[in-house]
Chain A
């Protein structure tokens, strides 16, 4: 990881990687969405609304993984003082916030025909809503620190502390008696969902993950370019 902390080396990899990850994302999401909407059967219990699964699960995963990324970047910033760590944290935050919001929105839309309600204050939904608010707090704190010329240490501490919410979200369906269904897909223990319903899900999960990565790369490149321009203008003004 230390090797990629150099902005010049990072840009050498990020420039070609942005296009490739975006192209791969479009391809996988397109295939997953078409498969999920038109080539899978309806569920015997949930009916047609099960198709929302193919976009709800990736948004939930990325809403949480985004904060995992912020926490990792925060740790790298505080411990190793990586020059790109704060840039990465700021780049990830709005993307993670959008996916957390999309998770809440699609979950709510799914809940109406499935549970008969748009919202329920149960453990999973409430902890996910808290994650969305944590994102908003991080964005506000990080931008305020950047405007004042700070290093972003407060935002990094906030990013680390906020990670406590991730296991709460994950285990909420086990700790509390929630309306939200329990874990039905596990990498280690297989899945309780029928394979004919499940196959488009890996496509959308990987597709949206590549999309997330592509957007973060774009935002990091934009911030590095802005910093380059600011430094050049400052040097010109001094001479």
Chain B
């Protein structure tokens, strides 16, 4: 049995999941901090 498709799938899921969660956390943090700064400045 060729193991490489399994290895690629495992690494793909982990890297995709990690990058997706990091990007989501980063964009929501930036948006929340920008909004809080705007509200404070008003």
A222 within 8 Å of B (CB atoms) = yes
A59-B11 contact given A218-B25, A232-B40, CB 8 Å threshold:
no
Give the residue of B10, B13, B21, B36 whose beta carbon is less than 8 angstroms from that of A232: B36
Of the stretches A76-84, A105-113, A167-175, the one at the interface is: A105-113
- Contact of B33 with A56 in the complex, beta carbons under 8 Å: no
B24 to chain A, nearest CB (A): 9
Of the stretches A1-9, A43-51, A139-147, A149-157, the one at the interface is: A43-51
Residue of A nearest to B42 (CB): A236
Give the residue of A55, A94, A208, A223 whose beta carbon is less than 8 angstroms from that of B10: A55
- Contact of A215 with B25 in the complex, beta carbons under 8 Å: yes
The number of chain A residues with a CB under 8 A from chain B is 39
- Contact of A106 with B3 in the complex, beta carbons under 8 Å: no
- Contact of A229 with B7 in the complex, beta carbons under 8 Å: no
Give the residue of A22, A113, A225 whose beta carbon is less than 8 angstroms from that of B22: A22
B residues within 8 A CB of A232? 36, 39-40
Give the residue of B1, B21, B32 whose beta carbon is less than 8 angstroms from that of A222: B32
- Contact of B36 with A228 in the complex, beta carbons under 8 Å: yes
Residue of B nearest to A208 (CB): B18
Main secondary structure of the interface of A (DSSP, over half): helix
A residues within 8 A CB of B7? 37, 48-49, 51-52
Residue of B nearest to A108 (CB): B10
Residue of B nearest to A105 (CB): B13
Tell me the complex Cα distance, A101–B40, Å. 39
A55-B36 contact given A49-B6, A215-B21, A222-B25, CB 8 Å threshold:
no
B residues within 8 A CB of A98? 17, 21
Tell me the complex Cα distance, A228–B10, Å. 40
List 20 extra interface pairs beyond A102-B14, A218-B25, CB under 8 A. Answer: A29-B18, A47-B3, A48-B4, A52-B11, A55-B11, A56-B10, A106-B10, A106-B13, A218-B22, A219-B28, A221-B29, A221-B32, A221-B33, A222-B32, A225-B29, A226-B36, A228-B36, A228-B40, A229-B35, A236-B42
* 30 A-B pairs in the complex with CB atoms less than 8 angstroms apart: A33-B15, A37-B7, A48-B3, A48-B4, A49-B3, A51-B7, A52-B6, A52-B10, A55-B11, A98-B17, A98-B21, A102-B13, A105-B13, A109-B6, A110-B6, A110-B10, A113-B3, A218-B22, A218-B25, A218-B26, A218-B29, A219-B29, A222-B28, A222-B29, A225-B33, A228-B39, A228-B40, A232-B39, A232-B40, A236-B39
